[in-house]
Amino acid sequence: MSWGLILILTVMVFSLRFIFLIPGLPLRLPVFVQQALTYSAPCLLVAICAPIVLLEEQQFREINDNPYLWGTLFCIISARLIKNTLLTVVLTLTFFYSLIYLF
C-alpha cells in the first residue's frame, strides 16, 4: 500500500513539474499567480523551521536560552549584512555551535 502510494505520488509530482519545464509548451501563468509563487519558498521554509526553532517536546522554548532562536536571528541579520551565502553559513554554524556548547 505505501509503496504504491509513493510511486503514484512520484509520478504525479514529476509530471506536474515536467509540464512547467517543457520549453515548447505555451503555458503562461497569470501575473498574480507568478507573484504569489514568489512567496512559496519562504512560506515553506518558515513552515518547516518554525516548529524546530520554537518548540521542544510540544512546548514553547524559553526565549533567553534558546540557541535555535538566536542562531536563526544571527543568520537573518548576517545574511542581510554580508550578502555572501557561504560566509553566512560558516558564520552562522560557528555561532550556533558555540551557543550549543555554552548552553
Q: Name residue 50's amino acid.
A: A
Q: What is the pLDDT of residue 1?
A: 67
> Global pTM?
0.66
Rounded distance between C-alpha atoms, residue 57 and residue 48, angstroms? 16
Is 26's pLDDT higher than 70?
Answer: yes
Contact in structure between 69 and 41 (CB atoms under 8 Å): no
pLDDT tier for residue 17 given thresholds of 50, 70 and 90: confident
Question: Which whole number is the average pLDDT over 2-14?
Answer: 92
Over the stretch 45-66, which tens digit does the pLDDT of each residue have?
Answer: 999 999 999 998 889 999 888 9
Contact in structure between 68 and 103 (CB atoms under 8 Å): no
Rounded distance between C-alpha atoms, residue 60 and residue 54, angstroms? 6
